[in-house]
């Protein structure tokens, strides 16, 4: 299945949360926070949404930070993706 987002939507794949803290403590599954860093998989065309012109500013392959509980989760086989609005993306991670 190929996901092709419409309008101001972006398909992202969440990056796995760390199993250890910086000091080396191993975290139990319930102690991990929901990850907010994700990789952009597909980007919609933008355009006019709710009467406003939306320019898409992210590109496929970039890492981004999203709102904590934003988007709709979609499963494709064993892969999990989220579809979020462009406005739910808070920042681009540059390394």
- pTM attached to this predicted model: 0.79
pLDDT of 60 reads 97
**Within 13 Å of residue 95, how many CA atoms lie on the same side as its CB?**
5
pLDDT one-digit tens code per residue, 42-71: 999 998 888 889 899 999 999 999 988 889
Instruction: Give the residues across from 74 on adjacent strands.
Output: 81
How many angstroms separate the CA atoms of 23 and 56, rounded? 38
Location of structure tokens 């987002």: 5
9-93 is classed in which CATH architecture? Answer: Roll (2.30)
Location of structure tokens 């990850």: 35
Q: Mean pLDDT over all residues of the chain? A: 84
**In the chain, what percentage of residues exceed pLDDT 70?**
79
How many angstroms separate the CA atoms of 93 and 55, rounded? 19
pLDDT of 6 reads 94
Instruction: Give the residues across from 72 on adjacent strands.
Output: 83
């Amino acid at each position: 299945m190929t996901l092709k987002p419409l309008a101001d939507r972006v398909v992202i794949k969440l990056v796995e949360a760390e199993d250890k803290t910086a000091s080396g403590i191993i975290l139990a599954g319930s102690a991990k926070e929901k990850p907010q860093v994700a990789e952009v998989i597909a980007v919609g065309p933008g355009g006019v949404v709710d009467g406003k012109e939306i320019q898409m500013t992210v590109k496929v392959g970039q890492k981004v930070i999203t709102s904590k509980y934003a988007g709709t989760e979609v499963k494709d086989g064993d892969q999990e993706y989220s579809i979020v609005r462009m406005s739910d993306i808070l920042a681009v991670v540059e390394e």
